[in-house]
Amino acid sequence: MKKFYNGKYDVVFKATFCDENDMGLIKTFLEKLLSIHIEEIKFLNPELILNDAEERKKTVDVLVKTEQEYIHIELNQIHSEYLHVRNFCYFMNIYSKHTRRGEEYDLVNQYIHIDFTYGIKDTEGKREYYVMDEQGKKYVENIRIIEYNMDKIMDYWYNNDEEKIAKYRYLMMLGVDRKSLDKLCKGDSFMEDYKKKIDRLNDSEPYTSWITPEEDARLMLNTEKRISYNEGMDEGLKQGMNEGLKQGKKESQKEMSIALLKEEIPIEIISKCTTLSVAEIEQLKES
């Protein structure tokens, strides 16, 4: 059976939502997700400004501007200890760049960072974070960070939790299989438009024919590798500077291998795309 590529893949998410010729989909998606009304929306350059010549290139997944919000979205195929630090640094780069307005600081616009993250070991489907003290008084009023535990949200769907399905269906549509997507989207015009676009992408040979199992694994490993490069971990590994970094890299490779196994990627291909041996991956599969 031909693999179905859904919105959990950043390349598919961007092809579906980040279309300047069809801004309606991303506009409605964010309205439903954040319970806000958007009159106008535009995409901003996803490449962040570097502060010095030694910095690595920084590219975010999605960055948009509405009338009163800057919204930054990251799709995270895995969850690692350094993921929050990396994404927070990206978000602060955006905040720092756009809050300066001539002689004043911008206190009007809201800055919202959204994580769609897989692999979180948490019982909650959603958490929100703010910069505040222990009594809940905000230090900065216009910063909001939202993280969605996508595995937990998908569990709500497969466990037929009707209350949670009603609450999170616009996120569930990103991760369900094709048959479930048909069922989930029926009767909702926005979700049906999303489904039509996803179906067109999956049925388009020029778009999907190049996605071999090897490329599929590479796509899923992309986030983990990009984080490692941006944090400079590869430099430390090459020079043998920090055994702790090496161990952290190994754990991330294990987490991603488990995710790839769930996607039914062959063990031999996972081994080629990671530093893990076939035997190590087989042990992960059995555990």
Q: How far apart are CA 279 and CA 188, in angstroms?
A: 46
Query: Other C-beta atoms within 10 Å of 275: how many?
Result: 12
Q: Does one domain contain both 239 and 199?
A: no
Q: Is residue 5 part of a domain?
A: no
C-alpha 130/C-alpha 142 separation (Å) is 9
**Same domain membership, residue 200 and residue 236:** no
Residue that is last in its domain, among 148, 182, 205: 205
Residue 69's identity, in one-letter code, is E
**Is 179's pLDDT higher than 90?**
yes
113: in domain: yes
Q: Are residues 156 and 240 in the same domain?
A: no
Q: Give me Rg for the CA atoms of the chain.
A: 20
Task: Work out how many domains the chain is built from and give that number.
Answer: 2
Same domain, 21 and 143: yes
Rounded Cα–Cα distance for residues 211 and 60 (Å): 23
For 172, list phi and psi in degrees, rounded to 5.
-60, -35
Is residue 3 domain-resident? no
Residues 67-125: tens digit of each pLDDT: 999 999 999 887 877 789 889 988 998 898 887 665 667 777 899 999 999 988 899 99
Query: 225 and 198, same structural domain?
Result: no
Domain match, 162 and 231 both: no
Residue 95 lies in a domain: yes
β-pair partners for 144: 112
- Whole-angstrom Cα distance, residue 106 to residue 138? 16
**Given pLDDT bands bounded at 50, 70 and 90, which one contains residue 150?**
very high
Indicate the pTM of the whole model. Answer: 0.76
Single out the residue in 179, 205, 231 at which a domain terminates: 205
Domain that holds residue 101: 10-205
Domain end: 171, 205, 239, which one? 205
Would residue 228 count as lying in a domain? Answer: yes
Secondary structure percentages of the chain, helix, strand, coil, to 5: 50, 15, 35
Same domain? For 187 and 245 the reply is no
Are 221 and 274 in contact by the 8 Å Cβ rule? The answer is yes
Is residue 1 included in any domain, yes or no?
no
Mean pLDDT of 152-156: 96
Residue 112 lies in a domain: yes
Least confident of 143-157, 212-226, 236-250: 236-250
- Would residue 255 count as lying in a domain? yes
* Percent of the chain at pLDDT exceeding 70: 77
Identity of the residue numbered 155: D
Q: In whole angstroms, what is the distance from residue 269 CA to residue 274 CA?
A: 9
Judgement on whether residues 201 and 234 belong to the same structural domain of the protein = no
